[in-house]
Amino acid sequence: MPLYIVNSPAKITTDAVAVEKSPDFLGKRKAGEVFEESKDGFPVKINAVIPKKDIKDKTEELIATLYAETISLARKEEVASITLPLFTEKERFLDTDRLLKIAEQSISDTLADGDMTVYITVGEKDELIRQNRDFEKLNEYINDRLPHEEITYAASYSESSVPKRGVKNRFARSAGRYDSECDMMPAPTAGARIPTSERKPTTLESALEQIDESFSQMLMRKIDESGMTDAECYKKANIDRKLFSKIRSDRLYKPRKQTAIAFAVALELSLEETKELLMKAGFALSHSNKFDIIIEYFISNGNYNIFEINEALFAFDQNLLGA
């Protein structure tokens, strides 16, 4: 059940679209009801009747029910994907941060055994950032680690502006060292045979035989060690079943970086184990970009809630975890 947060629904094409309706506008419909507007073609349009603002302590319950009913109706229509708004966000019944958590929990519970891809549209991104105090700590963490550029680049430069001493001396020393090493090495005689133990692979096929444990192999091993089932792992990682099947069946499958990290989060790997898993896929974590620092922050603090991590990535304009 991949679930993503987005800003603009116009950039996404899904099989179903949910829209919120006011009970006053519809008249006969009651708050909490969902109904399909048309069954002809795609996308399937689902109307969700939002509650009124004077329902007090039942607000959260009704909003959660609205998501559950909307997703249930979409499942009956056998759609593979749906875009939903953050219900009542415009009415400001609750804080954007709280509304998002209600949506994530309700949708996750309803689709515990489903493969539907869900997109939640958040319009008040600034409000989300303002309301989440954890983002302040994260922002400090990022600023402490993200390198700040202090060099002023000129449009052109002269040869004299390039520092010569360090570069020249370094290459001079290197050249001298390698020359002396070469002088000490005896030249191979004609027809000399290199011992088998010292031979290097001479063909692509033989070179590939030297490959260490792959990303797919390490992932499957870690899943077995965790005691989780495959389904539990890929759902916790915000990955769909089809992609997981590809990874499992192809020993040399190379995932995207977001996908690899999503599995590390689902398996609750340590920072070192996460780096090792990423290395198997040809990636690394560094302090040169916000995405990596945010991931490091959550893993270092033992927070493996992928929805909370994605909220932070969304707030800082980074790619979300999953696939």
Instruction: Check residue 31 and give its pLDDT.
Output: 75
| Residues 231 and 123 both lie in one domain | no
Number of domains present in the structure of the chain: 2
Mean of per-residue pLDDT scores for the chain: 80
Is 200 a domain residue?
no
What band does 194 get if pLDDT is binned at 50, 70 and 90?
A: very low
pLDDT at 198 over 90: no
Asked if residues 304 and 265 have their Cβ atoms less than 8 Å apart, the reply is yes
Is 173 a domain residue?
no
Is 185 a domain residue?
no
> 57 is written with which tokens?
């302590």
| Residues 219 and 121 both lie in one domain | no
| Residues 11 and 114 both lie in one domain | yes
- Show which of 130, 145, 180 is a domain's final residue: 130
Is 142 a domain residue?
no
| Residues 118 and 221 both lie in one domain | no
What type of residue sits at position 262? A
Q: Tell me what the mean pLDDT of segment 242-260 comes to.
A: 95
| Residues 120 and 11 both lie in one domain | yes
Provide the pairing of β-strand 34-38 with 44-49.
Answer: antiparallel
DSSP state of 56: G
Task: Give alpha helix (H) positions in 121-196.
Answer: 125-131, 134-145, 165-184
Instruction: Check residue 242 and give its pLDDT.
Output: 92
Instruction: Check residue 7 and give its pLDDT.
Output: 86
> 171 is written with which tokens?
């290459």
Which residue segment(s) compose the domain that 52 sits in? 3-130
CA 263/CA 239 separation, integer angstroms: 8
| Residues 16 and 122 both lie in one domain | yes
Q: How far is CA 31 from CA 4, 28, 50, in A?
A: 26, 10, 5
- Show which of 70, 103, 130 is a domain's final residue: 130
Per-residue pLDDT reduced to its tens digit, 104-115: 999 999 988 778
Q: Among 21-30, 149-158, 284-293, which is the least confidently predicted range?
A: 149-158
Q: Among 39-43, 79-83, 137-141, 217-221, which is the least confidently predicted range?
A: 39-43
Q: Which strands sit side by side in the sheet containing 3-6, from one edge to the other?
A: 3-6, 117-121, 81-85, 16-21, 44-49, 34-38
- For the four alpha carbons of 270, 236, 280 and 312, in that order, the dihedral sign comes to negative
Q: Which CATH number belongs to the domain containing residue 79 in this structure?
A: 3.40.220.10
Is 179 a domain residue?
no
Is 12 a domain residue?
yes
Q: Among 86-95, 143-152, 286-295, which is the least confidently predicted range?
A: 143-152
Is 187 a domain residue?
no
pLDDT at 45 over 70: yes
Per-residue pLDDT reduced to its tens digit, 166-188: 333 433 434 344 333 334 444 44
- Show which of 130, 145, 162 is a domain's final residue: 130
Is 77 a domain residue?
yes
Asked if residues 278 and 218 have their Cβ atoms less than 8 Å apart, the reply is no
